[in-house]
Each structure stands twice: as C-alpha cells, then as structure tokens.
C-alpha cells in the first residue's frame, strides 16, 4: 500500500508539479502511515486511498487533455472568427445598400448588353438604360470603327467644329434584309429593308455574366435567355464589322425607311465551302441564329 501511495504521489508530482497543488510527503504518523500536504491542507492517509488519488489524477488528466485540445484548436478558431467577421461585414454592406437612401443610381454589378433591333428590354430584373439608333462606319469605308454603336437620341456635346476636318465618320445603320430573304418575325414590323435600326441598352443587375451564342436559340441549363434572333454583320464584299445578335422580331425607327446606305446590317449565312463548319449540321446558305444569355 505504501509503495503504491509513494508511486502515485511521485507520479502526480512529476506530471503536474507545483501547478497542481504542491503535493508532498509531510510526515510519518505513529501508525506508520503517511500524512500529506495538499495545498496547505493536511490530509490524513486514511482519507486518501488509492482509488481517490487515481480519480484525481484521471480527472486532472482529462482536464489537461481538454485544455490541450482547446489550445490546439485556437488557430482554427481564430480563422473561423476572421471568416465570421468578414461575413458580418458583407451582410452589413448589403443591408446598407438595400436599406440606404434611394440615390436614383442603379445597383452595382450585373451585366449590360445591347438588344439590337428593339427599343425595350426583356427578361426579369432587366432595366432599360436607354434606347437609341444603331450606327457604324460607312459600308464602303476602310477606316473608322468596326463595331456597331447604339447612339443615344439626345446626345451631349463637348467642343464642336462644324464641317469635316480629318477624322472617322459615323453613319446611321439600316437593315439590308430583302423580303425574299427575311427570316425575322413580323410581329413589330412588316418590312425591314432599308429601315433604320433601333437598339436598347439593357442592364440586368442580378445576373452578372453575359454570353452571346451564335447558331443557338436556347441558353445552357441554368442560364436566362435575354433574347434570341439572327446573327448580323457586314456584307461579305463590304468592309468588315463585328457580329451582333439582331432580335427575332425587329422594330424600325419611325420615318427611317429611306434607302441611305450608311452602315448596314446583313444576315450571315453559313457555308460549307472552304472551312470546317460541321456540316450537315450547318446548311449551305442558312441564316445563322443567335441567342443572348445571362447567368
Ligand atoms: Ca439600303
Ligand atoms: Ca440564305
């Protein structure tokens, strides 16, 4: 019994030392049993049997294990706190944006696209920034820009010098779509040929990614179809322009039916000659479709 006590005492002293209470042998009593001091409280041998001491050791070891686990987890806890703080800041920012005063400004972010041939936007959560008239470089000019522009109807000017000096020239655009080869819906205009082309600049705040897919009329799963139609650009014998997606049911500018031939829009036809388009999926001379998608 004495040897067991001494062993336990030694074990406690080594493992926990002064930190757990200065457990030391104090005296030998007349009956040959030991008396110990535990945090300045004398405890008789009779009150401390092996079972109690083992229980104390086990309890302290369990607590020490727990403390070690807590200490080991501190870096993870700090990282988790940092992430939580970041999330709280994000929520605060969002709440401020949504709950703040209405400044009349549009929501930050989102996608912007031009709906060629239309004066309005379509789709949920889509806002018309403005509608205007399509324009570009003259179909015979080799200089100037190659892209079509959507020109506001109420332009703002800086300093102007009347007359042409030396620069690029911008022309209004018209459809070059003869009725014999007109694939478009007639829902908004019976005839497109030589009519001026409207355009709508659309902002979709909740879907920040935009994609125009040529030769498709549907969007990938999960994407929103903004509009679909037919691919258009310059005539193959004219100067090159960028490709745009003309709405399936184009509108025309009122009073813009004169044949002025400035910037022009032509349908784009697929060809299987001299290139690797995967025919027969693409037909010779077929008018290529398009769709504008957002996510
Ligand atoms: Ca024309
Ligand atoms: Ca054709």
Dist CA 250 CA 93 (whole Å): 41
- Please state the pTM of the whole predicted model: 0.64
CA of 278 to the centre of ligand 2 (A): 17
Q: Give pLDDT tens digits for 17-44.
A: 444 444 444 444 444 444 444 444 444 5
Given a contact cutoff of 8 angstroms between Cβ atoms, the answer to whether 144 and 137 are in contact is yes
Q: How far apart are CA 22 and CA 39, in angstroms?
A: 6
For ligand 1, the distance from its centroid to the CA atom of residue 280, given in whole angstroms, is 32
Write out pLDDT tens, residues 109-120: 999 999 999 999
pLDDT given at position 81: 59
Q: 13 CA distance to ligand 2 centroid (A)?
A: 97
Of the listed ligands, the closest to the CA of 194 is 1
Cβ neighbours, 10 Å, residue 263: 25
User: Which ranges of the chain have pLDDT less than 50?
Assistant: 1-43, 86, 88-106
Ligand nearest to the CA of 181: 2
Ion ligand 2, residues whose Cβ is below 5 A away: 269, 285
| 8 Å CB contact between 223 and 293 | yes
């Amino acid at each position: 019994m004495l040897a067991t006590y001494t062993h336990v005492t030694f074990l406690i002293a080594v493992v926990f030392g002064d930190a757990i209470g200065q457990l030391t042998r104090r005296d030998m009593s007349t009956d040959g049993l030991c008396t110990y001091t535990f945090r300045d409280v004398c405890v008789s041998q009779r009150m401390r049997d092996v079972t109690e001491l083992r229980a104390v050791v086990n309890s302290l070891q369990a607590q020490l294990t727990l403390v070690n686990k807590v200490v080991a987890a501190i870096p993870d806890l700090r990282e988790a706190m940092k992430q939580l703080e970041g999330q709280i800041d994000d929520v605060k920012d969002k709440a401020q944006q949504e709950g703040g005063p209405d400044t009349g400004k549009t929501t930050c972010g989102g996608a912007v696209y031009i709906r060629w041939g239309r004066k309005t936007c379509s789709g949920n959560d889509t806002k018309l920034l403005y509608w205007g008239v399509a324009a570009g470089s003259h179909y015979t000019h080799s200089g100037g820009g190659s892209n079509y522009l959507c020109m506001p109807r109420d332009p703002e000017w800086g300093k102007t010098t009347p007359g042409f000096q030396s620069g690029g020239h911008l022309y209004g655009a018209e459809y070059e779509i003869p009725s014999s080869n007109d694939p478009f819906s007639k829902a908004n205009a019976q005839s497109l040929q030589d009519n001026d082309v409207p355009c709508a600049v659309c902002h979709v705040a909740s879907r920040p990614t935009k994609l125009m897919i040529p030769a498709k009329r549907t969007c990938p799963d999960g994407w929103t179809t903004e509009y679909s139609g037919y691919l258009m650009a310059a005539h193959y014998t004219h100067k090159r322009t960028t490709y745009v997606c003309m709405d399936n049911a184009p509108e025309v500018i009122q009073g813009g039916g004169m044949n002025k031939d400035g910037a022009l829009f032509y349908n784009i036809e697929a060809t299987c000659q001299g290139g690797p388009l995967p025919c027969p999926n693409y037909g010779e001379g077929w008018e290529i479709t398009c769709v504008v998608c957002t996510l």
